[in-house]
Amino acid sequence: MEYSSIVEVYEEISSTTKRLEITEYLRRLFEKTPKEIIDKVVYLTQGKLYPDYYGIELGIAEKLAVKAIALASGATEKSVAEELNRLGDIGEVASLFIGKKSQVTLFREPLTVKRVYETLDKIAKATGEGSQDLKIKLLSSLLSDATPAEAKYIVRTVTGRLRLGVADMTILDGLAEAFCGSKDFRPELERAYNLTSDLGMVAKAVSEKGLEGIKNFRISVGKPIRPMLAERLSSVEEILLKVGGRCVAEYKYDGERLQAHKIQDKVLLFSRRLENITHHYPDACELIKSNVKASEAIVECECVAVNVDTGEMMPFQELMHRRRKYDIEEAMKLYPVSLFMFDLLYVDGEDYTVKPYLERRKRLEEIVEESERIKLSKAIITSDIKELEKFFEEAVEAGCEGLMIKSVSPDSIYKAGARGWLWIKYKRDYQALLTDTVDLVAVGAFHGRGKRAGTYGALLMAVYDKKNDVFKTVCKLGSGFTDEDLAKLPTMFKELIIPHKHPRVDSEVEADVWFVPKIVLEVIGAEITLSPIHTACKNIVREGSGLAIRFPRFTGKYRDDKAAEDATTEEEILEMYQRQLKKIEA
């Protein structure tokens, strides 16, 4: 098949935005494509060479493309670069220069799809010393034999800028029309796609055998499954109604979704967008390998950054330090992670996606051996609004975004690739609303572990209630301390330790060690939230709840100049909370 026949379709697609027309162009393209290469044609049309999870990406720098265009057309690099500045689209530039050149070329070997694909593949896979030159050479050899229109699409593809705007679903529509006789069969094709995440593979199967070809598509370990997604509602009442009055509510952890495939002693990790991200998380792989008790399994979990010393959950931004190519070992030490398992899709030959949620969860509980760093997502089954609200506060308190509410109905299967009402997220959007620091009194502490053994892992901090002359807790403070700070904490508090809670301290949290309220530290937090465990402003905003500072961090300032009674007061915290609510509403 000649590459020009694909290019003609690309030109047609580019001239319309109507989905029906695009589908029709694709149908014709697929019908005339030889079956052996239809997968490649599908990938090319998406601007790719493989499904995303292969991790082989096109996207050479424009600079290299400029060189290749110059080489193929005989123009100077400078003139090509100038045109790029003027036109802004490297594809148009390629077309222009190859057009100028082709007026003097008499013989041209027509480009085949196979040759274009194979050359692009070589370009994508070239690495190491000399690879830049090789890429330029390979690209310019293609361009030398290209028509201006072909040059445009080759260069757009190789620089990762094809952007025809053809959605996955439109490709499926085109395939359904071409090989099943009607778009009505798209759901069947979609199912095959959801299970394999590989449009090329679906195209090949359906072009060879029609619907029969995909009927037997099954989940296979090693191929990512398109993830199930959640709808969103902003009131617990609505959510409960929507899921039929009874649900599983789970902590919605604030990390990165991982789809882990365990194949004997090998583990592959896929992101929510189905990229292969195994190399980012060797520690997560180890956890899955050792604590998921099955030979083969596909499980889903949220991977969350935790504080090196205290093990407490950290905000999502911290996890982004793990998204690096180099120094992974070092990042693993600085930014350790915990895994919270929330679904099971497959285990030892059995497809679990077709089973209702409670059955999946039960089996997940059986095969996951919990440890400090790998746990099941925290969950309750409830039909009670109050209980849900309380659970939401606990989740936020623990560093989560909110709750995932899941249907427990018999049809609560794992709907791959679908956003639906079987899962509903309930969260508030948090912004860094607390710009002011607060001065808090240490009223107790928790023993440190690991690197913090021998000192404190966290301090229990309080605000002052002037009216009743008591100190009420607002947070556990474990972040922001330097090694030096940590080393001196025990001496600093030594004289203040008492064997029981101080009579002027109002706390529902049980500290390991209690202090006489005296030492004041400056703290900055992300925001103030409702809290089921802290006593500051208890029952003022909501019956049964207090207020807490979320993600508190020591600024480094010991407020020796302040007595405990000079600390931030309960009223001030309430005012800050109300101001913050106004900001959210605004």
Summarize as ranges the residues that interact with ligand AMP (CB under 6 A). Answer: 230, 250-253, 257, 272, 302, 342, 377, 404, 425
Nearer to ligand AMP, 227 or 525 (CB): 227
* Cα angle for residues 308, 311, 312 (degrees, 5° grid): 115
At residue 555, φ and ψ (nearest 5 deg) are: -80, -10
- Closest distance to ligand AMP from the beta carbon of 44 (Å): 30
- Closest distance to ligand AMP from the beta carbon of 457 (Å): 25
Distance CA 149, CA 154 (A): 9
Distance CA 586, CA 580 (A): 10
Catalytic-residue membership of 252? yes
Q: What letter would DSSP give residue 451? A: G
* DSSP, residue by residue, 161-216: -------HHHHHHHHHHHHHSSGGGHHHHHHHHHHH--HHHHHHHHHHHTHHHHHT
- Closest distance to ligand AMP from the beta carbon of 145 (Å): 45
Distance CA 94, CA 81 (A): 11
Quick check: 280 and 342 in contact, CB under 8 A? no
Q: Tell me which residue of 375, 397, 498, 401 sits closest to 442, measured CA to CA.
A: 498
Taking residue 563's Cβ as centre, other Cβ atoms within 10 Å add up to 13
- Closest distance to ligand AMP from the beta carbon of 340 (Å): 6
- Closest distance to ligand AMP from the beta carbon of 583 (Å): 21
Q: Tell me which residue of 321, 291, 325 sits closest to 305, measured CA to CA.
A: 321
Q: Is the dihedral of CA 418, 421, 422, 424 positive or negative?
A: positive
Helix H or strand E encompassing 323: none
- Closest distance to ligand AMP from the beta carbon of 268 (Å): 17
* CA gyration radius, the chain: 30
Q: Cα 211 to the chain's mean position, in Å?
A: 33
Nearer to ligand AMP, 250 or 393 (CB): 250
**CA torsion angle for 514, 517, 523, 529 (degrees, to 10)?**
70
Helix H or strand E encompassing 92: helix 90-102
Nearer to ligand AMP, 421 or 558 (CB): 421
Nearer to ligand AMP, 414 or 577 (CB): 414
- Closest distance to ligand AMP from the beta carbon of 250 (Å): 4
Nearer to ligand AMP, 340 or 464 (CB): 340
- Of 67, 101, 135, 252, the active-site residue reads 252
Residue of this chain nearest to ligand AMP (CB atom): 257
- Closest distance to ligand AMP from the beta carbon of 404 (Å): 4
Distance CA 444, CA 518 (A): 11
Nearer to ligand AMP, 289 or 425 (CB): 425
Distance CA 22, CA 584 (A): 42
Q: Cα 296 to the chain's mean position, in Å?
A: 24
Nearer to ligand AMP, 217 or 426 (CB): 426
Nearer to ligand AMP, 137 or 272 (CB): 272
Taking residue 141's Cβ as centre, other Cβ atoms within 10 Å add up to 15
**Active site amino acids:** 252
